[in-house]
Structure 1
C-alpha cells in the first residue's frame, strides 16, 4: 500500500474546468442543475479518458485533470466545449451549464492521486480568464501546440494573476461555444461574411480511417486536391484550405460552419488507405437547411488515386450546379505526376510549408527535392520548392541569400516550363519576378483569373502590386484573399502586407490596426514589427515605435535597414523606410 502522505513531482499539462455561475444555477433550480451537471460531467470525463488524461481532483462543479501531452489536453478541451455546447443548445440561456477551461504545462506535486502546486494554480487562474464555453491556455502550452494543431489562437497578452508571482502570457483558443459569438468563430471579424452571389462551398478535413496516424497527411492531401480542383471553377466560390482546416479534429455543426465561413454548401467525408487501396466517402450538405444533397463512396487501387479525386470533384460540382459546362469540368483536371512516390513526398511537404517557420520551410524543401528527384516533371512541387527558397530570403532565414534566390528563380521557371497555366505557380513566379525588379503584374492578374478562389494567388497579387507601388489595388487583393479564407492561419502575412500598403498611402492609423491584428495572429512574424514600428513613428508615438523596433531586433538581431532593402521588394516603400529610420532601427 502506498503512503497517503508521500509526495512526488512530475511535469504535466494541467486542465482545470469550472462551471460558470454554479451558485446562481443551484439557487434557481437545485435538482435541474445537479442533473445537468451530472450529464455534462459524463461527457467531460469520457473525453478526458479518450485523450489519455487522468482525473485528479474534483470538488462540486470543478474538475482537475492531468495529461502527458499538451496537444491531447487542448484537443480534449476543444472537443469537450463542442460537445457541451451541443448539450446546452436546447436550453434557455439562464439554464445552461457551461464550463470555463484553463490549461497550463507545469511542474506539479502529486499526493494520494491529487495535484497541488503552482502549475495547478496557474491552470485554475487561466480558467477564470476563459469565457463561458471557452478555453484559455498559457504561453507555455501555446508554444507546444501552435505548430501542431490547426486552431486559431487569440493573444490575450501578459496577465498578472492573483497569488501568482510571475505574470503569465495567456491565449484564447478559437473553439466554438454559445458564449463565444464575437471572438471565437471568426477571430476579430466584425460580422459573419455574407453569402456570395454564386454557389459557395467549404471542404472540411476528411477523417483518417486508416488506423495509422502517420497517414494523416494522406487524408489531408486528398482534401487539398479536391479543394484545388473545385477552386478552378470560376462559377464557384471555394473557401481556402487553411480556413477549412481550422475545423480539423473538432466535432462541428455544419450550419455553424456555413455561417462562420459564409458558404452555402459543406463537403465532409473520410479516407481509408490500406492494402494498396484507397476509399473515399463523402457527403454534401446544404449548410442553411441541413439537408443532405449528395453522398457516395469511391474505392480504387491506390494507383488510381488521381482519377478518384477527379470523380469526387465532378460529383460534387454536378450536385451543386448541374448546368456547369463540361469544358469547365475539364479545366479542373490537373497535370498529374507520373511517380506516385513523388506525389506522396509532395503531400508530406504541404503542411510543413504552411508552418511558415525556418524549420518548416527547410523540411518542405527537403521533401520537395526528394519528389523532384523521382519525378523531374512534377511542376507543382517545383513551384512549392521555389517559393520556399524565396521565403527563406524574404524572411531572413537564408544563410546564403544569393543561392536561395537563384534556386527560387530556377525552380519557378522550371515549374512554368512544365505547366504555365497553374494559378499558384503563376502567382509565386510573379512574386519572384517582382522581387527581381521585373514587375510581373500581368502574371499575377493571370493567376487570379485562372483561379479566383486561390488565397495564394490573391495574396501574391497583393504583394506584387505593393512592390509596384500600386497600393490601393494591393489592398483590394489582400481583402479578397481574406474573404476566400476568412480564418486562415496565414492571415498574418496578408494583414502585414495591407499594413505596409496603408503606410505608403499615409493611412497610418489603418496600418496600426492591420499590424496589431497580424501581431495577435502570429506574434513572432518579424515583418509585422516593421509595419508597427514605422506606423507608430509616423504618428509621433515614439515610445511605442521604439518598443516595436526592439521586438523586431529581438526576433532578427542582425536586422539592418540596408540589408533588408537588399533582399528586394522595397523600391516603392519610401514612407515605410522613413518610418523605420525614425523608429531608431540601425541603418
Structure 2
C-alpha cells in the first residue's frame, strides 16, 4: 500500500488525499463513514473490532453500535453490488475489508511553477493586480489533474531568493517547468509577454504576447492555463473555468485583494477587505470575492481572537460564495474553515472533504484539512494532510509551521514542536506563550523564562490562560486542558523563577 491507493472494482480509495472515486469521479460519503472506511483500509484483510472502530472514529463521544452499523451501511451503499462483498462482517468480532491488490501508482505528473512577472511600469496597485492575476492563473492551472502546480507562495518565495536563475529556481521547487515573463500596465491596458521553460534543458516550450483591455482581462485565468496544458501535449478537456465576474473593475479589485492577503499583515488585510467590498459593490454575485471577504472578517480580528459577530459575518459571506459557486473548491473549503471557528465540526470536515474532492491540488484546501483534523483531536492525520500541502507548497507559509508545531505538541513531541514554532520569522505574543508552554512540558525552565519575558514585554497585562481559552479551537476538552495545563505549568515555573 505504498502508493496509498486501494481499488475495489471501479472504485479507488486514496488514503493520502482522503477521497473516494468511481471511474475517476468523486464519490460522496459522510465523514464518519469515510473515517470507518479509512480505518479498515489501513488494515486490509484484517478483522478490526467494533470497539476499535468506535474508539477511533468517535473518541470521547458516547455512541451506540447503531452509529457504526449506519456507517457500514453507507460504505456498502457506495461500494455498490460489484464491490459490496469486499466489506465483510465477521460475527462477534468486527469487520474486514478486502480490496483488490493495491492500485498502481499513477504516472508522475509534471510539476510546474508560475513565477512573478517583472513589472515594466505601474506602482504598488499595478504590482498587486499583476501578482493577484498570477495567483488566479495558478489556481486555474491546478484544476488540470494531469499537472502538479506549485503553490504561489513557494513560487514567489523562490523567485525572491538571491542568486537563483531559472534552473536554480526549478531545482529549489522540484519543478520540471517554470513560467516567467514581463507585464506592462498602462491605464486599462495590460500587456503580458510570458514563456514556459523546460528546467532540465532550458528550452522554451511556449511563448506568447497577450494584450488585454477591459473584459479581455477576465479571460486570462482560463486562457493561460489551457495554453500551458496544450503546449505540454496534455489533455485540456478537464479544468472547468472558475466562477468569475463579468466586471473587469471588480476583478481588478479582487486580484489586488488576493495579493494583499498573502502579505500577512493587518494593514494589508484591511486594504484587501476594502478592495473586496468595492468588488462586491460592483458585482454582488462575485462568489470568489465573498469567499475572500469571509477570511478577511476573521483575519482582521486575529483569527482565534475574533468575535462571534465577525465569525457570523464570515459565515454569511462564505455561505453566499458556495451558493453562487457550489463546485468551487476554494469556496467550499472557506466555508468549512469558517465552520471550524463556529465549532460546527461535522459540517467543517464535510465541506473541506468536498473541496478536496473537487480539486485535490490546492495547497490551501489541504492545509484547511490539516487544521480541522487538529481541532478534532487527530494530530497524526493533521500532519499527513500538512505533508500533502507542502508537496505543493514546499517553501511553506508561516501558518504551516504553526499547525505543525501544534500537532507535534498534541503528540507529545515537544522538542520538534518547539523547533517548528521557533522557525517563524516573527513571533507574536500567543506564539511566545505557546513556546513557553512547550518548554515547560520539556522541563526547560530557562526556555520558559526566555519566552515569557518576551511575551510580557509586549503586553505586561496579558492573561495567558484566558487568551488561550478564547483563541484555540478544540472539539474535545482533553485537548484544551492539555494546552491550558502546559501554560499554567509555564506560569508556575516563571513565578518561581522570579522569586
TM-based fold match above 0.5: yes
User: 2:482 maps to which residue?
Assistant: 575
User: 2:415 maps to which residue?
Assistant: 509
Q: Which of 457, 473, 476 pairs up with 2:365?
A: 457
User: 1:47 maps to which residue?
Assistant: none
Distance change in 2, residues 1:544/1:222 (3 Å): same
Paired residues of 2:435 and 2:451 also in contact (CA < 8 A) = yes
SS state at 1:583 partner: helix
* 1: CA distance, partners of 2:314 / 2:247: 23
Paired residues of 2:193 and 2:210 also in contact (CA < 8 A) = yes
Paired residues of 1:239 and 1:453 also in contact (CA < 8 A) = no
Write the deviation string for residues 330-368 of structure 1: whole angstroms up to 9, x where unpaired.
x2x111112222212112222321222222222221221
* 1: CA distance, partners of 2:320 / 2:283: 13
Aligned length: 380
Of 536-545 and 551-560, the range deviating more from structure 2:
551-560
User: 2:198 maps to which residue?
Assistant: 286
User: 2:432 maps to which residue?
Assistant: 529
Paired residues of 2:405 and 2:421 also in contact (CA < 8 A) = yes
Q: Which of 347, 362, 369 pairs up with 2:277?
A: 369
Residue 371 of structure 1: CA displacement?
A: 1.4
* 1: CA distance, partners of 2:161 / 2:445: 44
* 1: CA distance, partners of 2:163 / 2:212: 28
Residue 236 of structure 1: CA displacement?
A: 1.2
- Unaligned runs of 5+ residues in structure 2 are 1-106, 495-499
Distance change in 2, residues 1:538/1:431 (3 Å): same
* 2: CA distance, partners of 1:411 / 1:539: 42
Paired residues of 2:176 and 2:199 also in contact (CA < 8 A) = yes
Residue 453 of structure 1: CA displacement?
A: 2.7
User: 2:120 maps to which residue?
Assistant: 209
Residue 583 of structure 1: CA displacement?
A: 0.9
Q: Which of 441, 444, 449 pairs up with 2:349?
A: 441
Residue 265 of structure 1: CA displacement?
A: 0.4
Matches within 5 A, 1:90-239: 197-212=108-123, 214-239=125-150
Paired residues of 1:546 and 1:584 also in contact (CA < 8 A) = no
CA-atom RMSD in angstroms: 2.4
Residue 496 of structure 1: CA displacement?
A: 1.1
User: 1:315 maps to which residue?
Assistant: 227
Distance change in 2, residues 1:345/1:558 (3 Å): farther
Residue 455 of structure 1: CA displacement?
A: 2.3
Write the deviation string for residues 257-287 of structure 1: whole angstroms up to 9, x where unpaired.
1100011000111222335433222111111
* 2: CA distance, partners of 1:531 / 1:317: 45
Q: Runs of at least 4 residues of structure 1 off by over 6 A?
A: none
Distance change in 2, residues 1:342/1:584 (3 Å): same
Residue 205 of structure 1: CA displacement?
A: 0.6
Distance change in 2, residues 1:294/1:373 (3 Å): same
Distance change in 2, residues 1:213/1:576 (3 Å): closer
User: 2:447 maps to which residue?
Assistant: 544
* 1: CA distance, partners of 2:204 / 2:252: 32
Q: Which of 301, 308, 316 pairs up with 1:410?
A: 316
User: 1:141 maps to which residue?
Assistant: none
User: 2:153 maps to which residue?
Assistant: 242
Matches within 5 A, 1:551-562: 551-555=454-458, 557-562=461-466
Distance change in 2, residues 1:213/1:502 (3 Å): closer
Write the deviation string for residues 198-235 of structure 1: whole angstroms up to 9, x where unpaired.
11100011122345554222221221121111112222
User: 2:330 maps to which residue?
Assistant: 424
Distance change in 2, residues 1:478/1:337 (3 Å): same
* 1: CA distance, partners of 2:456 / 2:265: 17
- Unaligned runs of 5+ residues in structure 1 are 1-195
Residue 526 of structure 1: CA displacement?
A: 3.8
* 2: CA distance, partners of 1:456 / 1:268: 23
Write the deviation string for residues 390-419 of structure 1: whole angstroms up to 9, x where unpaired.
223444665xx1321221111111111111
Please identify which structure carries the higher helix content: 2
User: 1:266 maps to which residue?
Assistant: 178
* 1: CA distance, partners of 2:303 / 2:403: 13
Residue 425 of structure 1: CA displacement?
A: 2.0
Computing the radius of gyration from Cα coordinates, the structure with the larger value is 1
User: 1:345 maps to which residue?
Assistant: 253
Paired residues of 1:478 and 1:495 also in contact (CA < 8 A) = no
Residue 558 of structure 1: CA displacement?
A: 3.5
TM-score, normalised relative to structure 2: 0.71
Write the deviation string for residues 14-37 of structure 1: whole angstroms up to 9, x where unpaired.
xxxxxxxxxxxxxxxxxxxxxxxx
User: 2:242 maps to which residue?
Assistant: 334
Q: Which has the higher contact order (CA 8 A, sep 6+)?
A: 2
TM-score, normalised relative to structure 1: 0.61
* 2: CA distance, partners of 1:482 / 1:424: 17
Residue 555 of structure 1: CA displacement?
A: 4.3
User: 2:213 maps to which residue?
Assistant: 301
State yes or no: 1:472 paired with 2:375.
no
Paired residues of 1:207 and 1:219 also in contact (CA < 8 A) = no
Write the deviation string for residues 75-128 of structure 1: whole angstroms up to 9, x where unpaired.
xxxxxxxxxxxxxxxxxxxxxxxxxxxxxxxxxxxxxxxxxxxxxxxxxxxxxx
Distance change in 2, residues 1:323/1:349 (3 Å): closer
Residue 451 of structure 1: CA displacement?
A: 2.6
User: 1:42 maps to which residue?
Assistant: none
